[in-house]
Amino acid sequence: MKKLTGLVAASAVAALALTACSNGSASSAASSNSPADNSKKTITLWLAGGDTPDELRTYLKDTFKAKTGATLAIEEQSWGDLLTKLTTSLPDAENTPDVVELGNTQAPTFTNVGAFSDVSDMYEELGGSKLLPSFVEAGSVDGKRFALPYYFGSRYMFVRKDIWSSAGVATPKTLDEFNAAVSTIATKNPRSIKNFSGFFIGGQDWRNGISWIFANGGDLAKKQDGQWVSTLSDPNSLKGLAQLQAIYKTASKAPADAKDQSPWLYINDSDAITDDKGAVTGKTSLAAATIMAPGWAHWSIGDLKTVDGKATRVWNPKTFGTLVLPGNDGKPAPVFAGGSNIGISATSKNQDLSRELLRIIFSADYQKKLGGAGLGPANSDYVSSLGTDEFAAALVASASNSKLTPAAPGWAAVESAQLMEEFFGKIRDAADLSALATEYDAKITPLLNQK
């Protein structure tokens, strides 16, 4: 009996000591909870789509286990349905994923309703001002940080060098030069292809089109006296829209309702066999000298070849080239950045372990791995890990000045109501751009501020 009491007392003291230790270490931000406590715990990370490669996932799981003793489970969610799943699962404390990746345009919506935990105290530790400012902004409310950047992508132009040179047009150094160049190419049409575009941009392709608004100093919306206001009809925005209208009318033969799907189809050559002289016989699928697409599109651009028994597109640097859209001020034009944010669910019961995961994700090792996989790391210090090929260079350059959609709580509603598509689709044939822009400002502004 005595021994037992002694044992009990000893264990009680030990337990208290351990708790004291782990409490202490949590605040020191250095080491985490002792592995022994956590061996039965599992936290869940939701990744969107297949963008994070398997080896990075394995790295996360292994490192997490080694560091905390707990298990990391990774669930991949499909991009198309992420919104629905986040809406149902995040508020549910019993079943919520602990850490979640979501698109940067979706981040403001969920941040504003309190779906994520406040990580302002970790901000400096995870990278502070070195983290992509526009993404941090998207995940912040009133200066508090909730969802931080995970990776960034960017978009730039892919050009047919052969067509550009046949048309005798030099590489443009400013936005104005670009606008003129693509018009010229469309008019000259060196190969006499029917409906040939100097620059193919779909009428409803607003994600690419907004670059012209941004490049002229305009914006989609801004915060005025605490309320978000749509600014399509601001003078700078209108300047950009006018340039876009000119492009729609002269340089692009894309339909007014075309969106931004599969733009590489228009600058690839047909897979029909050419005759022995190399001349193109019959119809070709080439329809544009220039397209604008996210960086990863380069995998789908090139000559059709058979590699390892599989038909693939192989990039041909003689025919194809990349071009970062230039601004008029010597810097790259601001383009719409792709990418994701990452946050800890506010209802998660594993806040501490989740924070550990964030530390691992924002560690130098992991950031470099992201770059190595072609995903722009959130921390600008490690951007060089993207590599040195022309795609990496274009990605970094175009992303340096990139912008996001407004971090307004109601922006997701604007997108789901397809108002941007509708507005941009009407630009080409609009007689009075200013009136059209004002009309849509009136539709968009009420949606921006969540009721």
Partner 1 sequence: MRARRLGTGMWSALAVVIALAWAFPVYWMLVSSLLPNVRLQSTTPTFFPTGGSVDNYREVITDSGFGRALSISLAVTLLAVAAAIAFAFLGALAVSRFRFRGRLSFVLALLLIQMLPAEGLFIAQYKMMSSVGQLNSVIGLSVLYAAAVIPFTIWMLRGFVAGVPIELEEAAMVDGLSRTQAFLRITFPLLAPGLVAAAVYAFLQAWNEFTVALVVMTEEQSRTLPLWLRGFVQASATRETDWGQVMAASALVAVPVIIFFMIVQGRMSSGLVGGAVKG
Partner 2 sequence: MTVSTAAGSKPVPAAAARHETPRRPSGNSGDVAESRRRSPRVPLLLLVPSVVILLAALGYPVAWQLVTSFRKFGLRQQFGQPPEWVGLENYKNLLTDPSLWAVVVRSVVFCVVVAFLTVAVGGLLALLMQRVTRAARIILQVSLLLAWAMPVVAAMTVWIWIVDWRRGLLNWVLVHLGFEAAEGHNWLAQPLSFFVVAGVIVVWMSVPFVALSVYAGLTQVSDEVLEAAQLDGASWWQRLRYVILPLIAPVISIVLLLQLIWDLRVFTQIKMLQDAGGVANETNLLGTFIYQLGTGKGDFGMSSAVSVVMLGLTVALSWHYVRSLMKEEAS
Residues that bind partner 2 (CB under 8 A): 83-84, 87, 90-91, 109-110, 113-115, 194-195, 204, 255-259, 261, 265, 285, 287, 346, 412-413, 415-419, 421-422, 425, 447, 450-451
- How far is 250 from 357, CA to CA, in rounded Å? 51
**In the set 310, 388, 431, 432, which binds partner 1 (CB under 8 A)?**
310
262 forms part of the interface with partner 1 (CB under 8 A): yes
Among 89-97, 128-136, 238-246, 385-393, the segment contacting partner 1 (CB under 8 A): 89-97
Q: Tell me whether residue 283 or residue 331 sits nearer to partner 2 (CB atom).
A: 283
- How far is 352 from 395, CA to CA, in rounded Å? 35
- Partner whose binding site includes residue 114, from partner 2, partner 1, none (CB under 5 to 8 Å by kind): partner 2
- Partner whose binding site includes residue 127, from partner 1, partner 2, none (CB under 5 to 8 Å by kind): none
Shortest Å, Cβ 64 to partner 1: 18
Shortest Å, Cβ 91 to partner 1: 9
67 forms part of the interface with partner 1 (CB under 8 A): no
What is the per-residue DSSP string for 74-95? EEEE-GGGHHHHHHHHTT-TTT
Coil, helix or strand for 106? coil
Coil, helix or strand for 317? coil
Residue 409 contacts residue 159 (beta carbons within 8 Å)? no
- How far is 412 from 103, CA to CA, in rounded Å? 11
User: Which alpha helices (DSSP H) does 46-198 contain, by range?
Assistant: 54-68, 82-89, 107-112, 120-126, 133-138, 161-166, 175-188
Shortest Å, Cβ 53 to partner 1: 10
What is the per-residue DSSP string for 204-248? T-HHHHHHHHHHTT--SEEEETTEEEE-TTSHHHHHHHHHHHHII
**In the set 17, 272, 364, 442, which binds partner 1 (CB under 8 A)?**
272
Residue 56 contacts residue 29 (beta carbons within 8 Å)? no
Q: Tell me whether residue 152 or residue 423 sits nearer to partner 1 (CB atom).
A: 152
56 forms part of the interface with partner 1 (CB under 8 A): no
300 forms part of the interface with partner 1 (CB under 8 A): yes
DSSP code for 413:
H
153 forms part of the interface with partner 1 (CB under 8 A): yes
Contacts of 80 (CB under 8 A, 6+ apart): none
Residues 97-116 that bind partner 1 (CB under 8 A): 103
Contacts of 307 (CB under 8 A, 6+ apart): 314
Residue type, 380: S
340 forms part of the interface with partner 1 (CB under 8 A): yes
Exposed e or buried b for every residue in 358-371, given b needs 16+ CB within 10 A? bbbbbeeebbbbbb
Q: Tell me whether residue 109 or residue 350 sits nearer to partner 2 (CB atom).
A: 109
85 forms part of the interface with partner 1 (CB under 8 A): yes
**In the set 1, 54, 94, 194, which binds partner 1 (CB under 8 A)?**
94
Q: 12 in the Ramachandran plot: left (φ > 0), alpha (ψ -120 to 50) or beta? A: alpha
- Partner whose binding site includes residue 270, from partner 2, partner 1, none (CB under 5 to 8 Å by kind): partner 1
Q: Tell me whether residue 73 or residue 435 sits nearer to partner 1 (CB atom).
A: 73
Q: Tell me whether residue 344 or residue 394 sits nearer to partner 2 (CB atom).
A: 344
**In the set 19, 95, 120, 227, which binds partner 1 (CB under 8 A)?**
95
Shortest Å, Cβ 292 to partner 2: 18
Q: Tell me whether residue 151 or residue 423 sits nearer to partner 2 (CB atom).
A: 423
- Partner whose binding site includes residue 329, from partner 1, partner 2, none (CB under 5 to 8 Å by kind): none
- How far is 182 from 391, CA to CA, in rounded Å? 22
Contacts 24+ apart (CB under 8 A), 114-117: 114/346, 115/86, 115/90, 115/91, 115/343, 115/345, 115/346, 116/146, 116/147, 116/343, 116/344, 116/345, 116/346, 117/146, 117/343, 117/344, 117/345, 117/346, 117/348, 117/351, 117/354
79 forms part of the interface with partner 1 (CB under 8 A): yes
**In the set 136, 297, 323, 396, which binds partner 1 (CB under 8 A)?**
297
Q: Which helix (H) or strand (E) holds 6?
A: helix 2-28
**In the set 42, 58, 88, 384, which binds partner 1 (CB under 8 A)?**
88
**In the set 75, 121, 124, 389, which binds partner 1 (CB under 8 A)?**
75
- Partner whose binding site includes residue 94, from partner 1, partner 2, none (CB under 5 to 8 Å by kind): partner 1
Q: How many CB atoms lie within 10 A of CB 172?
A: 18
**In the set 38, 43, 45, 48, which binds partner 1 (CB under 8 A)?**
48
The residues of the shown chain that bind partner 1, judged by CB under 8 A, are 48-51, 75-76, 78-81, 84-85, 87-89, 92, 94-95, 103, 153, 262, 264-265, 268, 270-272, 283, 285, 294, 296-297, 299-300, 304, 310-313, 338, 340, 374-375
